[in-house]
Each structure stands twice: as C-alpha cells, then as structure tokens.
Amino acid sequence: MKKILLSIALFSSICLSAQTVIVDEKYTDISKPAAFRYLPFSKNFLLFTADDVKNSFVTLATDANLYDANGIKSILFENNKHVNCALIKTINKNDIIRNIKYFKDYDFNKGYDYMIGNWIFSRFCSSYDDLFELTLTNQKNKKKINYEKDEIYLEASNIKTKEKVRIKLETTKLDLLKGESLIESSDKVTFSCRLKGNDSFDLITKSISIKQNESTIYKTTYDIHGKKIKDLALKLNLIDNFFVLSSNEGGSVDQFKFNVQAVNHYYEDPENEDIYVYGIYTNKKSKVFKDFNAIGFYIFKFDKEGNKIWESINPIDDRNFQSHHYSASFGINLFEYEDKLVFTNCANTTVEFTNYALVDKSSGKVLKINRVDYNRVASFEKTNVFISESNESKDLLRKVFDPISFAAIDLNPKLFNYLKAIPEKNDRIYFNTIFSKEGIWLIETDNKEYYKVLLFKDQKKLPIWELFCFYKVAIAF
C-alpha cells in the first residue's frame, strides 16, 4: 500500500501543474515593496524594497533581490539608497550585476538623484545599457531629428571612463519610406530605436502601401559604435484585408495625428532571435487611424535573417472588439507563455474587456480565443503604493487586477482557483501578472501588511518514454 501511495505521489509531482511560492513577506517599518521587474534574458524576477517612499514620481529602493523560477534568491544590492533603478529589459544574462555599479547614490540632502537605466531608446531621448549612454542627434548636435532632412549621429559615452564617440549612421533610404505609393505619418517619415543588449541596437522604420494591404518593417542593426551589422526588411501582406493602427508601443496614435510606426509592433525572442510581428486589421479600406472597424489580429513569424516562417491572420468574432473605430481604443500586446504565444487586446474605452488568443509558436495555429469582461471600480489608493489597479471581475470580488491579468486567469485554471480561494475582505487585494517562458508570475499585495510573488506553470503532458521511465521507477519502489 505504501508503494502505491508513493507511486501516486511521484506521478502527481511529475504530471500536475506547478505552483511555486517565490516571495511571501510582511510589510515592516524598514522594508516595504517598492517596484518589480521581470528580466527575460536571465529569466529572473527582480524585486525592489525600501523603508519608505514619499514621492509618487520616483521609486526609492534600499534593497534589490533576484529570484529564479524555483524561488532561489540572490542579492543584487542591500542597505543602499537608489532611485528609479531601471535595469534594461535586454540586460546581459551573464553580467546582471554590473549595471548597478554605475547607479548614483541617493542623497537625502540634495533630493532625488535619478538612476541610470533604460526605459525607451526613443527618437529624442538618451538611453543606457550596462556600459554606454547612447544619444541620437542630428548634424547640428540637436536631439530633435527630421529623418527626411537631417543626418543622424550616434553618440556613445562610456559610463565608466567617460570616453565618447560620435559617428554618422547609415540609415534606410528615403525612397523605401516615402512616395506616392505609400501612406505617410502626420509628421512625415518617423523612426524608433530598440536596444538589443550591450552590443547592439536596432533603428526601425516602417511603410504602409496606399492600398493598405502591404506593410514593411525596415530593421537596421548597429553595433554600439554605430557600425551597421545587418539590414532586414520584414514584408507583410494581408491580401484582401487592410492594415490599421493601434496602441501597441510601436508608435503614437490619437484621433488627430498618427504615426506609421503604430501599424504594428514586434517581439524578438531573446534566445533564437525569431521575430513575431503583430497588429490588427479590417476588411474594408478606411483611414488607418480612425473611422475603421477592426475585425481581427495577425501575427507574422520571421527567423533572424528575415525569412518568413508562417503567417497567422485571424478574425475576432466579438461585437465589442469590432465596434471600436479609433487606434487609441486598442491596446495590444504579444507575450511568450511557456512554449506558446499570447496575443491580447485590452480595450481603452468605456466598456472594459480583454480579448486574447493562445497561439502555437511553431505553426501560428490559434489554440484558444476568448473575451473576458471586467469592471473598472473606483480606486482611492494613493499613487505611491506597490500596486495600484482598479479592475474587478464579478467572479473575484474585492480583488483588483491589471487588464492583462484577466487573460492569464482565464487561461490558467489553477491561477483562478488560487485567487478564488483567497477570502474576501473589506479591503481590496491588488494583483499584477506577467506572462513568461517559465509560466505566469503573480504579484499579490494588500498594500498594507503583506506581499507575495508566485509562479504558475501550465500542466504538462509527459511523452511516452518519460511515462515508461516513471513506470520503471514505480516498480523499483
């Protein structure tokens, strides 16, 4: 009988979906959660804590700890005072500590002293990796750049030695971005940049055909000293459908001006450099940024050399999704979730809902598609709390989430059951979720007494050979 029970326990530990408690801590007078990051290169969860935060515009951190998917903790720094520590998303997986060396210390007598870190390597702003401060300027050394008329220079300043280099960039030719056959942004030709790590960055330009069914991403990679490494042209064709813009972090949109950069965005796998381009589309030609009826989403997968692997063009049969007519109403994202992709659309309107689709990475096949409704509830929280959200589901009362969390909850039953089991209290409990290759990270707090981080992994079906091995082990017992 004992052997049977032990066999069942072994089988359960192998086959059932995993739920790991990463952090489970109490608020104290000297330690409160301040901010968190997920680092996809190192696959670590980064948690900042502080003794107090008095200014809602900055994040003061006295300690920073890294946690892996098994909950193993390593100290990044402790008993210091740093402000707005913003490690780059593409931080070097082998050199995660070095970034901290260049953070300036907080001086209470001088006020808040902002930290070196990367938020967005954008058109007019400086940016940082572990080693260099990067700036783009024109030939007059001005940060405001007109792509059509100006030359573009990269300025790279070594953070440690202060040595600086300035070099002219070879950019995408204008005839690929401008002409009678192409749609132009309100501000003519636009571009953006993305860091790829400590060694290189991308300069991105895009085009949309006047017919609206063809779009190209021109992705030029440079080393950190401005030398061109690679040119990619990622070509997308919707045939009988039409591109429209959305709020996807690729470019800015509103009801009066638009940026062709917002036609789509892309996710680049940090391990194999596969590229996934995603956006929304309509079946009737219209203005690209307003007065359209979106009917679905698309994902195009390319390898690191720009060769198309597959395309996945899918309708979203949802009246609420199709009833919105402005680019800014669609907040779309694409995430890796274990060995799959999750496309999400979080509506930025008076009607609160999240569309999502679970997509197979190897084929582009849609495995599941759904819409989750929720309500925006009044939030009286101060802005300088650990998590401040205001979206509540009728199935999880007094628990509030960011909009993407509702896709995670619907996809992972064990996550839903965990949340359902938390007793309902007078005070709300606040949650964020992060999709990752390791699973779904859940951040939980009441913003007063406790905070937790958990990792939910999807259930795995074991291959036959692994089941056979399990059978042999069970017999041995």
d(CA 197, CA 175) in angstroms, rounded, equals: 30
Question: In this structure, are residues 84 and 117 in contact, taking their beta carbons and an 8 Å threshold?
Answer: yes
Retrieve residue 335's tokens.
């995430």
Three-class secondary structure assignment of 256-273: CCECHHHHCEEEECCCCC
| Percent of all residues in the chain with a pLDDT value above 70, rounded to a whole number | 77
d(CA 215, CA 175) in angstroms, rounded, equals: 15
Average pLDDT score, the chain: 80
Greater pLDDT, 264 or 53: 264
Per-residue pLDDT averaged across 359-364, rounded? 97
In degrees, rounded to 5, the angle at the alpha carbon of residue 124 between the alpha carbons of residues 101 and 251 is: 105
Candidates 32, 160, 64, 55; CA nearest to 108 is 55
Of 176-180, 216-220, 295-299, 457-461, the poorest mean pLDDT is in 457-461
Greater pLDDT, 261 or 4: 261
What per-residue confidence (pLDDT) applies to 85? 58
pLDDT of 62 over the 60 cut:
yes
Question: In this structure, are residues 246 and 298 in contact, taking their beta carbons and an 8 Å threshold?
Answer: no
Greater pLDDT, 185 or 475: 185
The pLDDT-based confidence of 105 (bands split at 50, 70, 90) is very low
Per-residue pLDDT averaged across 459-467, rounded? 52
What per-residue confidence (pLDDT) applies to 216? 97
pLDDT in tens, 31-54: 999 888 888 777 889 898 988 765
Retrieve residue 276's tokens.
């996934």
Greater pLDDT, 359 or 289: 359
Residue 449 CB neighbours (<10 A): 9
Which residues are CB-contacts of 221 (< 8 A; sequence separation ≥ 6)?
196, 200, 201, 202, 228, 229, 230, 231, 232
Question: In this structure, are residues 316 and 298 in contact, taking their beta carbons and an 8 Å threshold?
Answer: no
What per-residue confidence (pLDDT) applies to 130? 60
| Percent of all residues in the chain with a pLDDT value above 90, rounded to a whole number | 42
pLDDT of 383 over the 70 cut:
no
Residue 245 CB neighbours (<10 A): 29
Alpha carbon separation from 204 to 228, 309, 326 (Å, rounded) = 13, 21, 24
pLDDT of 117 over the 50 cut:
no
Q: Is the dihedral of CA 193, 346, 317, 327 positive or negative?
A: negative
pLDDT in tens, 439-456: 999 999 999 999 999 999
Per DSSP, the three-state class of 405 is helix
Give the helix, strand, coil percentages of the chain, each rounded to 5. Answer: 15, 40, 45
What per-residue confidence (pLDDT) applies to 240? 92
Residue keyed to tokens 């968190």: 36
pLDDT of 229 over the 80 cut:
yes
d(CA 336, CA 18) in angstroms, rounded, equals: 18
Chain Cα centroid distance, residue 378: 26
What H or E segment, with its residue span, contains residue 407?
A: helix 405-411
The pLDDT-based confidence of 116 (bands split at 50, 70, 90) is very low
Residue 375 CB neighbours (<10 A): 11
Question: How many helices and strands in the chain, by DSSP H and E?
Answer: 5, 31
What per-residue confidence (pLDDT) applies to 133? 75
Per DSSP, the three-state class of 240 is coil
Greater pLDDT, 162 or 112: 162
Determine how β-strand 353-360 pairs with β-strand 366-373: antiparallel
Per DSSP, the three-state class of 166 is strand
Which residues are CB-contacts of 113 (< 8 A; sequence separation ≥ 6)?
83, 104, 105, 106, 107
What amino acid is encoded at 62 in this protein?
Answer: T
Which residues are CB-contacts of 455 (< 8 A; sequence separation ≥ 6)?
18, 19, 20, 22, 69, 71, 438, 439, 440, 441, 442
Greater pLDDT, 72 or 123: 72
d(CA 381, CA 375) in angstroms, rounded, equals: 17
- Name the CA dihedral angle for 31, 33, 107, 87, rounded to a multiple of 10 degrees: 140
The pLDDT-based confidence of 458 (bands split at 50, 70, 90) is confident
What amino acid is encoded at 455 in this protein?
Answer: L
pLDDT in tens, 313-356: 999 998 888 877 777 788 899 999 999 999 999 976 667 899 99
d(CA 199, CA 158) in angstroms, rounded, equals: 13
Per-residue pLDDT averaged across 391-402, rounded? 91
What per-residue confidence (pLDDT) applies to 443? 97
pLDDT of 289 over the 90 cut:
no
pTM: 0.84
What per-residue confidence (pLDDT) applies to 382? 58
d(CA 56, CA 394) in angstroms, rounded, equals: 30
The DSSP secondary structure of 263-318, one letter per residue, reads: G-EEEE-TTT--EEEEEEEESS---SSBS--EEEEEEEEE-TTS-EEEEEEEE---
Greater pLDDT, 349 or 203: 203
What per-residue confidence (pLDDT) applies to 350? 67
